[in-house]
Amino acid sequence: MKSLRFLFPAIFLTLPTLAQSPFFPEEMVVTATSLNLRETPDKNGKKIASLSRGTVVQFVEAHDNGQWVQADANDPNSPYGPWLKIRHQGKTGYAFGIYLSGTVGLYREQEMVHDESPLPPFHWYGVYQRDSFADELRKIEVRAEKTYSEFYGDTIQVLKTNQNMESKFIIGSFQPMKTGYAGPLGIYEVQHFYLSGQLSPGNTKSIHAGYDNKNPNEAAEKPSYTLVATGCASMDANEYFSVRVSDYKLSLLDFTTTPARRQDLTHWVQIASEEAMPTVSLSWYGDLDMDGKPDAILNDCPYEMGCRESIFLSSKAKPGEYLKKVCERFWPID
């Protein structure tokens, strides 16, 4: 039986125990039927506007560093979530974050779907193995289906698709995406080419968009970048002679220039506690946005209670960048 993972929108990573600043996407979409925008981060704050489902807003900042609180402290059944400061059509105020999602989301089949966090109003796509050395992006339909869970001993909702073949992963996007060739992995995984996907200090991994040999009009020459992990490893005699890593850094290098250009990705994979060990790995690469430049999915476990995987897209990168993080999903460690 496959393990069930929790389905959380991007904003659900703002757990109250985190010491680091949580990630929030720059654009967010309303998932509730109606969401109140208020002057203050409080259920009783003055109402500024009512935002309908599918409204796109700009993220400004998280109240109290994304601390989770109950929407109504007087109601024990009130949901938990962060208060987020957002902007829409010139109006800036606070909305309860459990009813907001990033405009791009990363999902997995069989994940648990919670009743209080409805699926966003997305276009849905799955990444599938097309052949030995090719992945493809397909337009799909998704649904929340009730099923009995032996683990929970109860009926729960899980994410399902209309496809017979299981996807590698699912993307929800507020904007439509192109379908077709999406990457060079196919039946293979990252570790098949590199023995391991781990990006521990001293490891490097190359990422590229791939080349669709079924499309004769596609140019074969595309950029390739290298992920480089560095850090200092030492023996900790106080912890049963365990190895500790300090000053962990993750960089993306472009060797087509002299000297090589570098983008620092460390802030997106920082651990939440100095006591934790950095565990970062490359789990997928290709060209999700089909702009001819590499995209990637990185997996890391910065929290004591769980891990996350994040999509990095080249099309969202700002000047001076190669990749930009657009979403992350969290699941608790078993």
How much is the pTM?
Answer: 0.89
> Quick one: tokens of 189?
């995984």
CA dist., res. 32 & res. 54, Å (int): 8
Which pLDDT does position 220 carry in this prediction?
Answer: 66
pLDDT at 229 over 70: yes
The pLDDT value recorded for residue 219 is: 65
Q: Report how far apart, in Å, the C-alpha atoms of 30 and of each of 8, 13, 35, 213, 229 are.
A: 14, 17, 7, 40, 37
pLDDT of residue 226: 97
Residue 141 has pLDDT above 90, yes or no: yes
Q: Is the domain covering 26-101 a CATH 3.40.190.290 domain?
A: no
- Give the highest mean pLDDT range of 22-26, 136-140, 302-306: 136-140
Q: How confident is the model at residue 11 (pLDDT cuts 50, 70, 90)?
A: very low
Least confident segment among 29-38, 121-130, 290-299, 300-309: 300-309
pLDDT at 193 over 50: yes
Look at residue 328 and tell me whether its pLDDT is greater than 90: yes
The counts of H helices and E strands in the chain are 1, 24
Tens-place pLDDT, residues 68-98: 899 888 888 888 899 999 999 999 999 999 9
CA separation for the pair 296, 311 (Å, rounded): 6
Q: Write out the residue limits of the CATH 2.30.30.40 domain(s) in the chain.
A: 26-101
What's the mean per-residue pLDDT of the chain? 88
What count of Cα atoms within 13 Å lies in the side-chain half-sphere of residue 146?
Answer: 3
User: What does the DSSP assignment read for 259-321?
Assistant: SPEEEE-GGGS--SSTTSPP-EEEEEEE-SS-SSS-EEEEEE--SSSEEEEEEEESTTPPTT-
